[in-house]
């Protein structure tokens, strides 16, 4: 990368002036609503979003990326996508590199990156696709795959001939972008809603002439990287401001897969994350733009702490549960085949500093959990920001439970998921609210934790006094498997009531899915945490032993209108155990 | 019918002693639960119900009927079934008359009566079926039909040869009841759970010898019908008491399609309707035993006042909405083809006395509505117990709204359906509760009424101040069709939260179904009420005019946590109209 690239990156493109000139942007759309049974979800197409922004005179930005060259590069790009996503781009697009096996399942392919962008990072995603030199069969395969992934926006391009060859008209082949658009229209039950001019291919950039005043200015500071960086950002901000003052609402950035400069420019333009966006559902931060899981609105609560794992393990499902989990004829949970993309870059050093260089006994492990839930530094003064059971950090509502959770974790009740009960709070509540702002949300108190098998008799004795709760207790092998739930029904633990809508119940405790979750969560002890340590080390053996002997417990308090009884159960269990220890020690004495 | 028939009718059969001897009772069962997605509904087979009764040492009774000979007889029998159903028989069975076209769609066929018994009267139903002299093809057709109706209990019988012929072994035919049982097992993915001896065919009764002491006793009173009736009941009660003291829990009555004697016997035995049964869902009095609509748990609220019409109009549906109305791909509403069975016996004289012999102007009609909702006698002192829009009388919760409803009806707001808002009442509440007793139920306030078009501007003006409500206003032809609802989403108006279960939302206001309901409810003015009067009479023309010019309005108040605003809207509308009338009269003056 030359310094000039750095200086004028990100490159800015004015969108608005090019709207509705050509027909290269294709939106996959749902069919017309069934007149008898309309879908409760309405998808707003990207073009409609853009039009609405312009009508409301709101500014926006969008970000363009290219597929990475290495698996490590893919991991880095995904981190950047997740970070840049918090700035709320209107959409992100990924370019198509015909030479880079762009439709493959490799972590570096355009198709795979667009999948991650859309379904895991939850960004409105546009996939470039080029047709030059392709057969109709291969194009059909590419488009089928894009559709099955859930891509709803394609930027149809002609594409360039391979380096060193000339563009030539091909009989029955794809010669122009319009050939591809025609092919898409002929082959997909799809609806091109609107269109606008193609974005200039980034390669053409090199043919642009850099204005003389920029060349002169940069000549003076060419040995000062920091000055060049500042100058580049300054230029970009000025250009954007001029455009926006001239009535441009949308700005498209060619990020060159970098995040620092674009973030600073966006912040200075006041385009970065201006509005805090309400949660669409409790387990995803905003409405999915994916065509492949459009009506999904109920998930087992277990994966609310690992949403990427859930998306990964359900990516082969043909349809997603909607309204009611128990209605679903969805297949069983798949494996974590795509999941490595997110974790190939796990930073061992960082993780060891947070989770402990040496774990000598169980209380060392308990204190890691306690530090994580409390946000307090661990014994070497390091704050625990990532945790193997928790992809996205602690949910904001966990702050309502911090003190109790820390206390219980320090005593060996290793909580991995919990929520307070909520009895009809406004859906606009900043901590526990979700959905449109004029509804009411409800929750049953829920807790999930690992615990030593030595607690079992005391836990069961404490639970007996509370028939209002439903519990499941299981160990890794499944030979301990206890529940007071007589039917294998899902239990709704989060639901919402909104004007003019059916009841939404986005999370359930499902006894059958819990079996799949059990395997996943016990494996985390050894596969994500244990592997940080040498084989046969005390730390690794301790984690293996915990994985093999601890119990996984979940408890739902069905009485959401009353005070949560879960703390009482845990306190009584601890007291019963303490009394028993006292008895034993008295006997010994 | 001879006096002896009267005296010893109903004939009593001891069930328990015959349990598990033979294999003639077949239960259609659901398949095994899908291990990934278990059904949330569990069906208890009749045999399990009987076994549970015996285990719990609870007594029960069951009632046997035969198919009627005439359409009028069918209507009478259905009324008796509805009445006897309130006494809570464990099941009812209907005999099979091979000579009477038993599998046809005639109102007098065994198949049709079993359908009504099961799906409209909501009784656990057993259908007799005989095989002697039948081909496998015809038996297959009969069994398919029984299954599609939702019959889960069959009493498989050999059947008798036609009168005047002898029983003969038929190669490849059905010779014994066990042949039929084997055929059913071979041809249906069905599960015979348990079995017991066949009930003695009622015809065999005539071959029984009547004990001498009974003959002697009856000889003395043979000219006194009332004495014979009393003697018969006395004998039956004594026999049942002896059986029950000897440890018999269940008694089966051959009712001979009569209801008076059996009711008195059951009352004296304390078997009649001992427990008040909680509502399973708000729109049906108990859990349906039908195999054909097992998972159905959401319906448009419109038909909550006409459940038989709803069952009739949806009887061709292959599947029923479950959990969410908007998910349903159910076909559109059919016609009321079976419905005449319930109304072939409409008593014109009775209806005229209740709804008015002469309707001179609109206020006459308004007062009929007001008398019905208030329970007060009409102007000739007759109490209105049936009403054309309301199959089952007023819902108990309407009593919560009586005063307001009466006042509004007297002023021309002709309410046909309404419910108060409920914010998390215990599901065991005797008036508004439903479902298992340990949950909470919720409702949005709802009202549906007819109103003169002259109210329209004032109604719209009043509604404008309440964005929290969603309304629909429509006339018969549909050329007035106003709503503030932007999407065609169903709006949940009744829902419940229960431990260990998904959220249930049994009633919704569905804007699309409302179009079908609109036609049905406007037609009631002319087809059920108007037809009572001579063509061209003032009354008939008035009702036709109302049907053609009035509006049908429904309003949902989405703010179920706050005080219902529907009364305020209606009051404001009335005030606005009164002010306007005043203005006009002042101008005229």
A433/B168 Cα distance (integer angstroms): 76
Average pLDDT across each block of 10 residues of chain A; the chain has 589 residues. List them in order: 34 35 34 29 72 84 88 86 86 86 89 89 87 81 87 75 57 62 54 28 45 75 79 85 83 82 87 74 66 82 88 85 78 77 72 95 96 93 90 76 93 95 95 92 97 97 96 96 90 96 95 93 94 95 97 98 96 96 86
Q: Any chain B CB within 8 A of the CB of A291? A: no
Q: Which of B40, B326, B438 sits opposite A326 (nearest CB)?
A: B40
Closest alpha carbon within chain A to B498:
A558
CB contacts of B487 in chain A (<8 Å) are 38, 40, 42, 500
Q: Does B447 touch chain A (CB under 8 A)?
A: no
Active site residues of B: 64
pLDDT category of residue B274 using cuts at 50, 70 and 90: low
Q: What is the pLDDT of residue B230?
A: 83
| Interface touch B491/A497, C-beta < 8 Å | no
Answer whether residue B519 shows pLDDT above 80.
yes
Separation in Å, CA of B333 to nearest CA in chain A: 10
Flag whether residue B214 sits within 8 Å of chain A, measured between CB atoms: no
What are B352's two structure tokens? 């005229």
Do the Cβ atoms of B489 and A34 come within 8 Å?
no
More confident residue, B249 or B358: B358
Taking contacts as CB-CB distances below 8 angstroms, the residues of chain B near A558 are: 438, 498-500
A42 contacts chain B (CB < 8 A): yes
Domains of chain A and any CATH numbers: 46-269 (3.20.20.220), 299-586 (no CATH)
The arithmetic mean of pLDDT across residues B342-356, rounded, is: 81
**Which of B465 and B332 is assigned the larger pLDDT?**
B465
Average pLDDT, chain B: 80
Residue of B nearest to A502 (CA): B492
What pLDDT, on the 0 to 100 scale, is given for residue A156? 73
CA distance B498 to chain A (A): 8
B 483-502 residues inside an 8 A Cβ radius of A: 485, 487-492, 495, 497-502
Q: B424, A561: Cβ pair inside 8 Å? A: yes
Q: What is the DSSP string of B243-306?
A: HHHTT--EEEEE-TT--HHHHHHHHHTT-SS-SPPPPSBTTBSS----SSSTT---EEGGGGG-
The verdict on a CB contact (< 8 Å) between A327 and B37 is: yes
Nearest to B502 among A35, A505, A558 (CB): A505
| A255 neighbors A262 (Cβ within 8 angstroms) | yes
CB atoms A492 and B470 under 8 Å: no
Q: What is the length of chain B?
A: 589
CA angle B371, B373, B376 (to 5 degrees): 40
- Contact state of A325 with B561 under an 8 Å Cβ cutoff: no
pLDDT at A331: 56
Q: Out of A435-439, B48-52, B453-457, B510-514, give the one with best mean pLDDT.
A: B453-457
Cis check: omega of the bond before B10, within 30 degrees of 0? yes
Phi, psi of B34 (to 5 degrees): -60, 125
Tell me the β-bridge partners of A299. A507
Distance CA B422, CA B445 (A): 8
Structure confidence by residue, pLDDT tens digits, B74-128 = 888 888 888 888 888 888 989 888 888 898 888 889 999 998 888 888 888 989 8
**For residue B251, what pLDDT is reported?**
82
Long-range contacts of residues B575-579, Cβ cutoff 8 Å, at least 24 apart: B576/B458, B576/B461, B576/B462, B577/B454, B577/B455, B577/B458
Residue A297 Cα, gap to closest chain B Cα (Å): 12
Choose the closest CB to B492 out of A438, A485, A502. A502
Q: Which residue has the tokens 């949806």?
A: B314
Q: Over the stretch B525-571, which tens digit does the pLDDT of each residue have?
A: 998 899 999 999 999 999 999 999 999 999 999 999 999 999 999 99
- Please list every residue in chain B whose beta carbon sits closer than 8 Å to the beta carbon of residue A438: 558
Contact B576, B461 (CB under 8 A): yes
pLDDT band for B148, please (50, 70, 90 cuts). confident
- Please give the model's pTM, rounded to 2 decimal places: 0.83
Is residue B35 classed exposed, middle or buried when 0-12, 13-18 and 19+ CB atoms within 10 A define those classes? exposed
Per-residue pLDDT reduced to its tens digit, B420-458: 999 999 999 988 999 988 999 999 999 999 999 999 999
Q: How many CB atoms lie within 10 A of CB A208?
A: 10
Q: Is B58 left (phi over 0), alpha (psi -120 to 50) or beta?
A: beta
Q: Is the pLDDT of residue B193 over 70?
A: no
Q: Does the annotation mark A64 as catalytic?
A: yes
d(CA B92, CA B394): 27
Q: Which of B37, B42, B484, B507 to mutate to test the interface with A (most CBs of A within 10 A)?
A: B37
B424 with A36: Cβ contact below 8 A: no
Catalytic residue among A64, A296, A404, A406: A64
């Amino acid at each position: 990368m030359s310094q000039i690239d750095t200086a004028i990156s990100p490159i800015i493109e004015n969108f608005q002036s090019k709207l509705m000139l050509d027909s290269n942007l294709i939106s996959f759309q749902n069919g017309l609503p069934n007149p008898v049974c309309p879908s409760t979800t309405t998808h707003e197409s990207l073009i409609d979003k853009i039009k609405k922004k312009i009508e409301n005179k709101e500014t926006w930005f969008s970000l363009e990326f290219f597929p990475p060259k290495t698996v490590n590069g893919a991991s880095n790009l995904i981190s950047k996508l997740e970070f840049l996503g918090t700035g709320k781009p209107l959409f992100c697009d990924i370019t198509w590199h015909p030479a880079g096996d762009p439709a493959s399942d490799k972590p570096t392919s355009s198709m795979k990156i667009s999948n991650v962008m859309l379904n895991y990072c939850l960004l409105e995603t546009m996939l470039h696709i080029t047709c030059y030199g392709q057969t109709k069969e291969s194009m059909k395969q590419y488009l089928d795959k894009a559709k099955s992934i859930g891509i709803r926006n394609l930027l149809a391009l002609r594409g360039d001939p391979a380096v060193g060859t000339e563009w030539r008209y091909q009989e029955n082949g794809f010669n122009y972008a319009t050939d591809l658009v025609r092919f898409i229209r002929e082959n997909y039950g799809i609806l091109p809603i609107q269109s606008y001019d193609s974005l200039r291919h980034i390669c053409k950039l090199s043919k642009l002439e850099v204005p003389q005043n920029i060349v002169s200015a940069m000549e003076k500071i060419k040995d000062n990287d920091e000055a060049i960086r500042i100058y580049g950002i300054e230029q970009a901000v000025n250009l954007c401001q001029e455009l926006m003052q001239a009535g441009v609402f949308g700005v498209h950035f060619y990020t060159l897969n970098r995040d620092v400069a674009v973030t600073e420019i966006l912040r200075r333009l006041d385009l970065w994350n201006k509005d805090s966006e309400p949660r669409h559902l409790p387990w995803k931060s905003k409405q999915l733009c994916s065509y492949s899981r459009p009506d999904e609105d109920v998930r087992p609560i277990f994966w609310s702490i690992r949403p990427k794992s859930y998306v990964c393990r359900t990516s082969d499902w043909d349809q997603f549960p909607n309204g009611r989990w128990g209605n679903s004829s969805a297949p069983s949970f798949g494996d974590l085949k795509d999941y490595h993309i997110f974790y190939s870059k796990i930073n061992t050093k960082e993780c060891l500093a947070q989770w402990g260089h040496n774990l000598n006994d169980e209380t060392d492990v308990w204190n890691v959990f306690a530090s994580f839930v409390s946000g307090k530094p661990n014994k070497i003064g390091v704050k625990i920001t990532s945790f193997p059971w928790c992809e996205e950090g602690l949910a904001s509502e966990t702050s309502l439970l911090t003190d109790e959770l820390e206390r219980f974790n320090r005593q060996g009740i290793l909580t991995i998921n919990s929520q307070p009960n909520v009895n009809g709070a406004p859906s606009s509540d900043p901590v526990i609210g979700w959905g449109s702002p004029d509804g009411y949300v409800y929750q049953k108190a829920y807790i999930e934790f690992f615990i030593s098998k030595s607690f079992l008799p005391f836990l069961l004795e404490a639970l007996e006094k509370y028939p209002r709760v439903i519990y499941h207790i299981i160990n890794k092998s499944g030979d301990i498997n206890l529940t007071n739930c007589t039917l294998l029904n899902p239990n709704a633990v989060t639901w919402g009531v909104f004007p003019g809508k059916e009841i939404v119940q986005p999370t359930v405790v499902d006894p059958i899915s819990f079996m799949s979750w059990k395997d996943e969560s016990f494996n985390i002890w050894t596969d994500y945490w244990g592997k940080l340590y040498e084989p046969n080390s005390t730390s690794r053996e301790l984690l293996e032993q915990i994985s093999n002997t601890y119990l996984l417990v979940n408890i739902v308090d069905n009485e959401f209108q009353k005070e949560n009884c879960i703390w009482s159960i845990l306190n009584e269990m601890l007291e019963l155990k303490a009394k028993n220890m006292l008895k034993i020690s008295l006997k010994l004495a």
